[in-house]
Amino acid sequence: MAEAAVLGMIRDLESMDVTRADTFASVIKLRNIELLKEILDFLRDLKREERLKYFIAGLVDLAKDATGVEIFDYRYCPPFKSIKDEIEMTKMRMTNFGADEKNVGDEEEAEEKEEVVVGLEKDVKKLLDRAIFKKSNKLEIYSIKGMTGIGKTTLARQLYKAGAGQFQRRAWVSISSGTSNKEILMKLIQQMVEGYEGDPSLEEMDNRSLQRILRQNLQGLSYFVVLDKIPEEMCVRSIFNVFPSQGLTGSRLLLTSRYDITTTKVEYTHEMKALNSDKSWQLFSKTINKYTSNENKFSKELEKKGKEMLKKCGGLPMAIIDVARQKAKQRLSGIDWEELFDSIDLCESLKLLEPMYHQLEERIKPHFLYLSIFKENAIIREEKLEQIWAANGLDFEQVTEDFANRSILEVVKLHFERRKCRLNPLLLMISIKKAEEEMGFEILRINGNNGPSQNVRHRVIHCGRDKLNHLTNEDSKQLISLIFHGGGGYLDDTSSS
Q: What is the per-residue pLDDT for 311?
A: 95
Q: Which of 422, 421, 412 is nearest to 376 (CA)?
A: 422
Domain positions in the chain: 2-95, 105-271, 277-345, 354-429, 440-497
Distance CA 165, CA 143 (A): 20
**What phi and psi values does residue 275 have, to the nearest 5 degrees?**
-75, 145
| Residue 427 Cα distances to 259, 314, 410, angstroms | 16, 9, 11
Q: What is the per-residue pLDDT for 420?
A: 94
Q: What is the per-residue pLDDT for 329?
A: 93
Distance CA 137, CA 81 (A): 31
Answer yes or no: same fold for 105-271 and 354-429.
no
Q: What is the per-residue pLDDT for 478?
A: 81
354-361, Cβ contacts within 8 angstroms, sequence gap of 24 or more: 354/430, 355/100, 355/104, 355/148, 356/147, 356/148, 356/258, 356/406, 356/408, 356/427, 356/430, 357/430, 357/431, 357/434, 359/232, 360/406
In angstroms, how far is CA 277 from the centroid of its own chain?
25
Distance CA 10, CA 4 (A): 10
Burial label for 455, CB within 10 Å (0-12, 13-18, 19+), is: exposed
Q: What is the per-residue pLDDT for 497?
A: 35
Distance CA 477, CA 238 (A): 56
Q: Which of 484, 321, 359, 440 is nearest to 92 (CA)?
A: 359
Which CATH architecture group holds 354-429?
Orthogonal Bundle (1.10)
Distance CA 211, CA 241 (A): 9
Distance CA 382, CA 411 (A): 10
Residue type, 337: W
Residues 223/171, Cβ–Cβ less than 8 Å: yes
C-alpha dihedral, 112 to 115 to 117 to 120, nearest 10°: 70
Residues 150/272, Cβ–Cβ less than 8 Å: yes
Instruction: Output the 3-class SS for 207-225.
Output: HHHHHHHHHHHHCCCCEEE
Residues 495/476, Cβ–Cβ less than 8 Å: yes
Sequence-ordered list of residues with C-beta below 8 angstroms from that of 158, at least 6 positions apart, any chain: 117, 120, 124
> 23's torsion region: left (phi>0), alpha (psi -120 to 50) or beta?
alpha
Strand partners, 142: 254, 268
Distance CA 274, CA 146 (A): 9
Instruction: Output the 3-class SS for 401-413.
Output: HHHHHCCCEEEEE
3-class DSSP state for residue 367?
helix
Q: What is the per-residue pLDDT for 127?
A: 94
Distance CA 385, CA 318 (A): 28
Distance CA 264, CA 305 (A): 47
Sequence-ordered list of residues with C-beta below 8 angstroms from that of 281, at least 6 positions apart, any chain: 303, 306, 307, 310
> 253's torsion region: left (phi>0), alpha (psi -120 to 50) or beta?
beta
In angstroms, how far is CA 111 from the centroid of its own chain?
18
**Residues recorded for the chain:** 497
Sequence-ordered list of residues with C-beta below 8 angstroms from that of 492, at least 6 positions apart, any chain: 467, 468
Distance CA 466, CA 144 (A): 47
Distance CA 272, CA 152 (A): 7
H-type helices in 222-332, by residue range?
237-240, 277-292, 300-310, 317-332
The per-residue pLDDT string of the chain (497 residues; one tens digit each, 9 = 90 and over) reads 677 776 777 777 677 766 555 566 676 677 777 777 777 777 767 656 555 666 666 666 766 666 654 444 433 444 555 666 666 666 666 666 555 544 444 434 444 445 688 889 999 999 999 989 888 888 888 999 999 999 999 999 999 999 998 899 999 999 877 788 888 898 999 999 988 877 778 888 888 888 889 988 988 889 999 999 988 766 566 667 778 766 566 889 999 999 988 766 888 999 999 999 999 999 999 999 998 888 888 999 999 999 999 999 999 999 999 999 999 999 999 899 889 999 999 999 999 999 999 989 999 999 999 999 999 999 999 999 999 999 999 998 999 999 999 999 999 998 888 899 999 999 999 999 999 999 999 988 766 656 667 778 898 888 765 555 555 556 667 888 888 887 545 455 544 33
Q: What is the per-residue pLDDT for 204?
A: 82
Residues 373/484, Cβ–Cβ less than 8 Å: no
Distance CA 140, CA 157 (A): 18
Distance CA 261, CA 239 (A): 13
Which CATH architecture group holds 105-271?
3-Layer(aba) Sandwich (3.40)
